[in-house]
Amino acid sequence: MTGAELAIHGCSMLNPDFSITTDATIRIGQGRILEITANSQEPGSIPAGTALDGHGLLALPGLIDAHTHSAQQLLRGSVVDELPMIWARILVPFESALTPEDVYASARLFIIENLKAGITTFAEAGGPHMQATARAAVEMGIRACISPSTMDLGDFVPPAMKMDASQAVRVTEQLYQEFNGAGNDRIHIWFGIRQLMTSSPELLRAVAARSKEMKTGVHTHLAEHLDEVSFCLRTYHKRPAEVFDSFGMLGPDLLCAHSVRLADREIVLMRERGANPVHCPRSNLGSHGFSKTPLMLALGMSIGLATDGASGTRLDLFEQMRLLKSAVQGRYGLEINDPLALPAIETLRMATSGGANAVRLGGEIGTLEVGKNADLILLDIDQPHISPTANLPQTIVMAAGPSDVKHVIVDGRLVLKNREFLEIDEEAIRREAAAALQRVSRRAGLALPSPYLGR
């Protein structure tokens, strides 16, 4: 038997059923989890590789951000407390001004923030110059499902950001040929339908057909805005999920970011088709609405969790877990005296196996099991805000944060050790990103508050 390349000794570990194994040894090799043993059992049969002391640490599956925007990392500080329409007034000029170099600098900053927050997989919803994001993801060791932005409709979309259906397919095919399966299959290329309001029926038909032929997924914003619902009722005489269904797209290969402005019958339809809702609580609570999470859970649906990018917050799925739990409790639990409107553990499921299902990798990541990809994070639980506790998984949801992430392993490779990157120059990336922020803001005509002005 081939030996392990990495072994973590003496850690606690979150099992797929959310119980905890203590004093575990996890052996990793060829990018996979080779063996998990409790120290009280017979020692493992696999020869050990590099040893990592796991005492005082909890091994969790790497977190999965199932809807994000790597090209919006440099928008931080430009959208909070701004009045509508942020999309037309800020986002469009910003994205239009991005060059491949800017997107690369943005993606690199985005990836170090992700890894330091324990996020080992991200689903990119689509922005410009996605080759730059894919290249950064390959180089920096993170796992990603990346879609390019394709839009062909809408008065508020400038011509430079539009492409027709055949162009949209061609752009995605090129990205697919260049990057799908890259980095030992860490990178998957998907189609993107940015939203129904910016997509013609021709674009929807073309993406539906070609994504099926290529056996890849489609990432979309679904039922995010009331405007979108009105557009669908006016244009198709259907609600958003029903529109996707009429194009044959509503199913396990459709990642439905937001999924907030849904009628109950759309949720039932999504359940029947196996479509994947992904909640973005911070973003939804700002301007979009409450998700109907209790109904989805009652129907047994798998749900993913997401940050929706760093423009308005940090890339922190711990915060999103707590925020969603509180929001659902406030909206649905309070008035019926139901403290279990959203159990804490369900939010942890969303950030791990729910996200894995949403990115079509449920068999590969999202739980710590022998044979799965070795994407795992080790949290320092020997701290006053976590230990001692009578219920460790619940305490992780309610009290842990990115700064508790001590080591990060993606695809069997230790990328972050003691919160230091082993092969990534974090300082250089932050410097490059600061320079890119200056360039883009000037080009896009976005006002930046001091101290950025004049630097």
What are the residues binding Zn ion (CB under 5 A)?
125, 308
Least Å from the CB of residue 306 to Zn ion? 8
- The smaller minimum CB distance to Zn ion, of residues 216 and 311, is found at 311
Pull the structure tokens for residue 418.
């003691």
For residue 360, how far is the Cα from the chain centroid? 13
- The smaller minimum CB distance to Zn ion, of residues 12 and 198, is found at 198
Least Å from the CB of residue 304 to Zn ion? 13
Least Å from the CB of residue 70 to Zn ion? 11
- The smaller minimum CB distance to Zn ion, of residues 283 and 302, is found at 283
Residue 313 one-letter amino acid: T
Q: Which residues share a beta bridge with 188?
A: 145
Residue number of the CB closest to Zn ion reads: 308
Least Å from the CB of residue 69 to Zn ion? 6
Closest CA to 370 of 64, 24, 10: 24
Q: Which residues share a beta bridge with 51?
A: 7
For residue 303, how far is the Cα from the chain centroid? 12
Dist. CA 108–CA 297, nearest whole Å: 35
Least Å from the CB of residue 155 to Zn ion? 20
User: Are the C-beta atoms of 142 and 111 separated by less than 8 Å?
Assistant: yes
Least Å from the CB of residue 284 to Zn ion? 10
Closest CA to 352 of 60, 23, 13, 5: 60
- The smaller minimum CB distance to Zn ion, of residues 227 and 382, is found at 227
- The smaller minimum CB distance to Zn ion, of residues 194 and 372, is found at 194
- The smaller minimum CB distance to Zn ion, of residues 31 and 355, is found at 355
- The smaller minimum CB distance to Zn ion, of residues 50 and 287, is found at 287
Closest CA to 126 of 308, 295, 272, 306: 308
Contacts of 124 (CB under 8 A, 6+ apart): 68, 69, 70, 130, 133, 144, 145, 146, 147, 219
Least Å from the CB of residue 31 to Zn ion? 30
Q: What is the DSSP letter of 421?
A: E
